Structures are given as C-alpha cells and as structure tokens.
Amino acid sequence: MNAKSLLRLPLYEQIKQQILQRVADSEWDSNELLPSEWDLAEQFSVSQGTVRKALTDLVNDGVLYRQQGRGTFVAEPLDDWAGMSMVSPGMLREKPDRLVREFLGIQRGHASDELAATLGLRRGAAVHRIRLLWRQQGQIVALDEVTLPLERFEALDVRWLRQSVGVWAVLQQHFGVRLRVKAEQWRAIGLPREEAQLLHAREGEPALFYLRLAEDMQGQALEWRERWCLTGTLGLSRQQEQ
C-alpha cells in the first residue's frame, strides 16, 4: 500500500537490501530464526508474496536458508574457500576437512596496471595486500595473497583478520559486503622461491596456481586472490619429509 518506491527499485530489492544490512550489522546472528514471512510483510508494509520473493533470492544467494514448517534462518558467513572446487587430497566424495587459517600479515601497496584495470581502479591505486596460510590436519596446503582496494576498505582492522575465519567473513561482518567468484583460472606451475619458503616446500615443486576475481552481489569487482596449493601428490612427498 505505502512504502512508495524511493529509487525506482522494486520493493523486493529494497527488502533484500534491508535484510542484508541487518545481517551485516549482526542484528540477526548466524542460524538465527527470522520473523515469519507474514511478520516481515507487515514490518515492510508489503504483501507476503513480495517478502517471499526477496527471501527466495537471498536463499539462492546463500545468505539465508529455509526449513519447511520451521522458518527462515541466517546462513553461516562465507569462508574464503566458498564456491571453490576441492583441492584436498583424498576421494572425491569426502568433504574437505575444516581448514585452519594462519594470518601472515597485511601491507599497503599499489596496484599494477593490469590489476588496476581488473578491479576498476586508477593506475597505481593503493591496495591492501593480505597473506594467509592454510593448514589441513596440521599440514600446510595453501598460501593466499589477497588484494583489496584500499579506498573501499580503508577501515580494515588487522585484529579482524586475526580473529576471523577468513577475509570474506571479515568483509561481510564489517563492511556488509558479500562476495562471489566472478572469474577464476587454474594453472600447474613450479613454486617460486618466496612462495615455496612460505609453504615449506621445495622451490620449483609442482603446485596448483589459482587466480580468482571476486565481486559483490552488484557485480562490482572487489577482490583479487592468488593461491598456491599443494595437491595430493605433493602431500605424499611432504609426508616423507616429516
């Protein structure tokens, strides 16, 4: 009836954004039950069908999940491996074991021309560079170098990175930004010296090199990530070392 469209955005889009905001602000925690569709409809002064459309979209985006007869809930925050193919050793049917993150550090730097173009930044724009190490059952399995536009994430706090489960979770919790993979590429390479040292592996040892561009739900590119992964074969040879 009322709630006259503020910006020519569909009502369900406005509702989605308000719900996303509340999730980002932790007004609703993970796995917390949302008000019913009818309650939300009354809060937002729209029909239940419109709320339903908004919730369905958010479920498809992985922000919420539903259980028939019980209600609608807030999904777990994304971790940095969300939507990524398995690279862990072992059978295909196994879920990858919970990965443990080690925060190596954050620096300020400047984007290369190519990276600036990819992220839609000015030439030489300032960026955050974050390094993470991933362990599985104690063994080092991957090294990440993450690049974020500094302008957008100026307030980024080192303590958040140390405490959180990953960069994506930090961006969601503190900036209300939910990322998804926009483009990615795999290569087989020999490990460069610096990365080999950090991974405690031999220089030139074959590894997976994973490049990934991530965007927010509006399609704005926001994160560039390079990941060096030790795969099953490597895992074997590494066991012999220890």
Q: Whose structure tokens read 């303590």?
A: 159
Identify what 98 binds: DNA, a copy of itself, none; CB under 5 to 8 Å per kind: none
Q: What is the DSSP string of 109-161?
A: EE--HHHHHHHT--TT-EEEEEEEEEEETTEEEEEEEEEEETTTTTT--HHHH
Report what 187 binds from DNA, a copy of itself, none; CB cut-off 5-8 Å by kind: a copy of itself
Q: Taking Cα atoms as reference points, which of 95, 202, 84, 225 lies closest to residue 140?
A: 202
Nearer to DNA, 64 or 148 (CB): 64
The 8-class DSSP code of residue 118 comes to H
* CB 159, min distance to a copy of itself, A: 32
Is residue 43 part of the contact set for DNA (CB under 7 A)?
no
**Rounded least distance, CB 23 to DNA, Å:** 15
Task: Quote the CA–CA distance of 60 and 107 in Å, as a whole number.
Answer: 35
**Residues near DNA (CB under 7 A), total:** 28
* Contact of residue 39 among a copy of itself, DNA, none (CB under 5-8 Å per partner type): DNA
**Three-class SS of residue 187?**
strand
CA 37 vs CA 23, 42, 53, 69, 112: distances in Å: 16, 9, 10, 12, 47
Tell whether residue 47 is a contact of DNA (CB under 7 A).
yes
Q: How far is the CB of 220 from DNA (least distance, A)?
A: 19
Does residue number 32 form part of the binding site for DNA (CB under 7 A)?
A: no
Contact flag: residue 150 with DNA (CB under 7 A): no
> What residues line the site for DNA (CB under 7 A)?
1, 3, 5, 8, 10-13, 34, 36-39, 45-50, 52-53, 66-72
